[in-house]
């Protein structure tokens, strides 16, 4: 091979190598550009708000898919297995509650029926006593007229000794009978009074509302605009009682330590009188009108609708008034209202009252 041919071959090899190197360089440049572009894209994604980042969006999608599955699993597998005993207990409690409701309804019906029968009999007896009184009065009127005639005859006619003696005996007998009849009439009047007292007088919802509005007492249901009364309380008997000069009533400062049904409330009053509480034995359950006189128009520091001079434990108390044979009125100082509930099932505190002031 000539030297020129050899030189031409070397040049070709160099040119080919140069072409290869140039192509490699271009490839590397393209790779750099690609990497630079990917880097910029990554930086752009990293600078996105958190709610636009792919990871968040992926988590949202995953959550939307997973939540129904979790809900189904919890609601249909876990909850039933955990609540099996609770459902059974709830059912048993509902059965007991339903039984109690039916028992209370039956109790109310029986009490009302019994009291209605007693009331009917009491009214019948009262009518008989009043009729008997009418007969007594009528007979007494006839007797007095006859006695007056005897006296007139004795004074105006000329009678012999025997006739005068007979008339005087008759007149004296009539006077004795009149005195005896007077005593019988007094006894009969006492019987009638006791009989009237034995006939229950019920306070209806309408009557209670009218009484509360008439006296201006506050009650959030019956009279929310009521202003109450200006009580004038003073603590007496070493803190045992509170006297209200505005009403002339003396109250227990505290009251019963616990709640009780109506029969036990009456028993509690009997025990107070038996032990001469605060030196008195004429304690009684307050009438609704009396209990409502303690109602404040807004909650105090207790927080109750009653002056803090009273013990704040007795948040609701029984009254002596009944709305029926089976239901009695109560006053709620924690709610600022009054109502009526079953005497044999419901339980409230007692705050006894008496008329008059106690000696300090």
pLDDT tens digits for range 60-112: 677 777 777 777 666 666 656 656 666 666 667 777 767 777 776 776 677 67
Dist. CA 351–CA 134, nearest whole Å: 43
> Do the beta carbons of residue 108 and residue 100 sit within 8 Å?
no
Residue 276 pLDDT more than 80?
A: yes
Dist. CA 242–CA 255, nearest whole Å: 11
Residue 126 pLDDT more than 80?
A: no
| Angle value at C-alpha 215, between 211 and 219, nearest 5 degrees | 75
**Centroid of chain to Cα 118:** 29
- Taking the CA of residue 193 as centre, how many other CA atoms within 13 Å lie in the half-sphere pointing to its CB? 6
Compute the mean pLDDT over every residue in the chain, rounded to the nearest whole number: 82
Q: Percent of the chain scored above 90 by pLDDT? A: 39
| Angle value at C-alpha 90, between 84 and 93, nearest 5 degrees | 145
Q: Check residue 43 and give its pLDDT.
A: 61
Q: Check residue 190 and give its pLDDT.
A: 83
Q: Check residue 208 and give its pLDDT.
A: 97
Longest alpha-carbon distance in the chain? 211
Confidence label for 359 from pLDDT (cuts 50, 70 and 90):
low
pTM, rounded to two decimals: 0.56
Residue 153 pLDDT more than 90?
A: no
- Taking the CA of residue 210 as centre, how many other CA atoms within 13 Å lie in the half-sphere pointing to its CB? 5
- Average pLDDT of span 5-18: 73
Distance between the two ends of the chain, CA-based, in angstroms? 150
Residues 6 or more apart whose CB falls under 8 angstroms from that of 115 comprise 200, 324, 325, 326
- Average pLDDT of span 292-316: 92
Residues 6 or more apart whose CB falls under 8 angstroms from that of 93 comprise none
> Do the beta carbons of residue 284 and residue 269 sit within 8 Å?
yes
Dist. CA 301–CA 349, nearest whole Å: 20
Q: Is the model more confident about 356 or about 295? A: 295
Secondary structure in 3-state letters for the chain: CCHHHHHHHHHHHHHHHHHHHHHHHHHHHHHHHHHHHHHHHHHHHHCCCHHHCHHHHHHHHHHHHHHHHHHHHHHHHHHHHHHHHHHHHHHHHHHHHHHHHHHHHHHHHHHHHHHHHHHHHHHHHHHHHHHHHHHHHHHHHHHHHHHHHHHHHHHHCCCCHHHHHHHHHHHHHHHHHHHHHHHHHHHHHHHHHHHHHHCCCCCCHHHHHHHHHHHCCCECCCECCCCCCCCCEEEECCCCEEEECCCCEEEECCCCCCCECHHHHHHHHHHHHHCCHHHCCCCECCCHHHHHCCCCCCCCCCCCCCCCCCCCCCCEEEEEEEEECCEEEEEECCCCEEEEEECCCCCEECCCEEECCCCC
Give residue-wise pLDDT tens across range 219-268: 999 999 999 999 999 999 999 999 999 999 999 999 999 999 999 999 99
Dist. CA 119–CA 122, nearest whole Å: 5
Residues 6 or more apart whose CB falls under 8 angstroms from that of 323 comprise 202, 203, 204, 205, 208, 329, 340
Closest CA to 356 of 274, 261, 241: 241
């Amino acid at each position: 091979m000539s030297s020129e041919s050899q030189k031409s071959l070397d040049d070709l090899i160099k040119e080919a190598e140069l072409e290869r190197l140039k192509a490699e360089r271009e490839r590397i440049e393209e790779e750099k550009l690609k990497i630079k572009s990917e880097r910029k894209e990554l930086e752009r994604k990293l600078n996105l708000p958190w709610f636009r980042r792919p990871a968040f969006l992926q988590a949202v999608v995953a959550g939307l898919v997973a939540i129904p599955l979790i809900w189904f699993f919890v609601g249909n597998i876990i909850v039933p297995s955990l609540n099996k005993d609770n459902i059974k207990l709830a059912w048993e409690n509902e059965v007991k509650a339903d039984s109690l409701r039916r028992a209370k309804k039956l109790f109310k019906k029986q009490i009302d029926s019994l009291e209605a029968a007693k009331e009917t009999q009491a009214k019948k007896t009262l009518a008989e006593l009043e009729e008997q009184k009418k007969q007594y009065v009528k007979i007494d009127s006839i007797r007095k007229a006859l006695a007056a005639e005897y006296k007139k005859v004795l004074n105006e006619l000329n009678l012999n000794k025997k006739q005068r003696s007979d008339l005087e005996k008759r007149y004296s007998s009539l006077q004795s009978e009149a005195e005896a009849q007077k005593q019988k009439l007094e006894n009969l009047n006492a019987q009638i009074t006791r009989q009237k007292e034995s006939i229950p007088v019920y306070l209806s919802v309408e009557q209670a509302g009218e009484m509360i509005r008439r006296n201006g007492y506050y009650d959030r249901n019956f009279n929310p605009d009521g202003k109450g009364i200006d009580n004038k309380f003073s603590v007496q008997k070493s803190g045992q009682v509170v006297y209200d000069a505005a009403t002339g009533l003396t109250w227990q400062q505290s009251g019963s330590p616990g709640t009780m049904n109506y029969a036990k409330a009456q028993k509690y009053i009997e025990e107070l009188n038996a032990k001469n509480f605060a030196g008195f034995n004429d304690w009684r359950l307050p009438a609704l009108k009396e209990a409502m006189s303690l109602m404040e128009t807004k909650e105090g520091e207790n927080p109750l609708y009653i002056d803090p001079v009273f013990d704040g434990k007795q948040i609701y108390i029984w009254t002596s008034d009944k709305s029926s044979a089976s239901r009695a009125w109560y006053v709620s100082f924690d709610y600022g209202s009054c109502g009526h509930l079953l005497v044999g099932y419901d339980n409230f505190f007692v705050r006894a009252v008496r008329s008059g002031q106690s000696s300090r």
